[in-house]
Structure formats: structure tokens, C-alpha cells
């Protein structure tokens, strides 16, 4: 695995598109990011962290238009919360669509 330190967000995006894992700063720690739609990329996170495969990951999305692509059902209350708090640190737990590999949600 190649390691490189950089702050170029566009380079990070390209790496994610090609199935690489990228370390990113969060509010409290550095996290590992991968394309949640790629089982191969997601496995790299589990392996790098020695994380058990039954421990699900978080899927981050960029806009309120995206959730229906990833979630099979979005309750009205969740839509209202998205409208009120996104963009921002709001976490919703929703049932996944088939586009999300089972390994991501440990299901």
C-alpha cells in the first residue's frame, strides 16, 4: 500500500474514485474514507483498521438530493430534518438500497 501526505482535496477525490483509501480530518480524529459503493474499497478500510466485518461503517453523502439513491425508504421526519440541518452534522440511520454493498452495513 502506497502512503503519501498531501492536502489536495481534488487529488483525494480522484484517489477515492479509483478505489483507494484516504485519511481525512474530522471534528475529533482522522478517519479513513473509501468509496462506499465499492466493496473492494470498503474492505481496504476494514483491513487497514483491523476492524471486524460485523462492525458497520458510516456512509457520508453530499446533498439532500442524494439520500434516495442510497436509502430504500426516507420517512417524512427524516426529510424535514435534512432540510433543517443539512449541510451539517446530522446523522440518519436509514435502510440501505442495493447500491450499498452488504459489507458496509454488516447486513
pLDDT in tens, 54-105: 999 989 887 777 788 999 999 999 999 999 998 888 889 999 999 999 999 9
Reported as a single tens digit per residue, the pLDDT across 24-61 is: 887 788 889 999 999 999 999 999 999 999 999 989 88
Q: Which pLDDT value is given to residue 94?
A: 93
Q: Is residue 28 one of the residues assigned to a domain?
A: yes
Q: Which pLDDT value is given to residue 34?
A: 95
Overall domain count for the chain: 1
CATH at 45: 3.90.870.10
Tell me the whole-structure pTM to 2 decimals.
0.79
Q: Which pLDDT value is given to residue 62?
A: 77
Q: Is residue 87 one of the residues assigned to a domain?
A: yes
- Domain encompassing residue 91: 9-105
Q: Is residue 3 one of the residues assigned to a domain?
A: no
* Phi/psi of residue 15, nearest 5 degrees: -60, -40
Q: Is residue 2 one of the residues assigned to a domain?
A: no
* H helix intervals, the chain: 9-17, 39-49, 67-70, 76-85, 102-105
Q: Which pLDDT value is given to residue 65?
A: 73
Q: Which pLDDT value is given to residue 90?
A: 87
Q: Is residue 30 one of the residues assigned to a domain?
A: yes
Q: Which pLDDT value is given to residue 29?
A: 81
| Maximum alpha-carbon separation in the chain | 44
Q: Is residue 1 one of the residues assigned to a domain?
A: no
Amino acid at each position: 500500500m502506497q502512503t503519501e501526505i498531501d492536502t489536495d482535496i481534488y487529488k483525494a477525490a480522484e484517489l477515492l474514485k479509483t478505489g483507494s483509501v484516504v485519511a481525512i480530518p474530522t471534528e475529533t480524529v482522522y478517519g479513513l474514507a473509501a468509496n462506499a459503493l465499492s466493496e473492494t474499497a470498503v474492505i481496504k478500510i476494514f483491513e487497514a483498521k483491523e476492524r471486524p466485518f460485523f462492525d458497520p461503517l458510516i456512509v457520508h453523502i453530499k446533498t439532500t438530493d442524494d439520500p434516495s439513491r442510497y436509502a430504500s425508504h426516507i420517512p417524512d421526519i427524516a426529510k424535514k430534518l435534512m432540510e433543517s440541518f443539512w449541510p451539517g452534522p446530522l446523522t440518519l440511520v436509514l435502510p440501505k438500497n442495493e447500491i450499498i454493498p452488504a459489507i458496509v452495513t454488516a447486513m
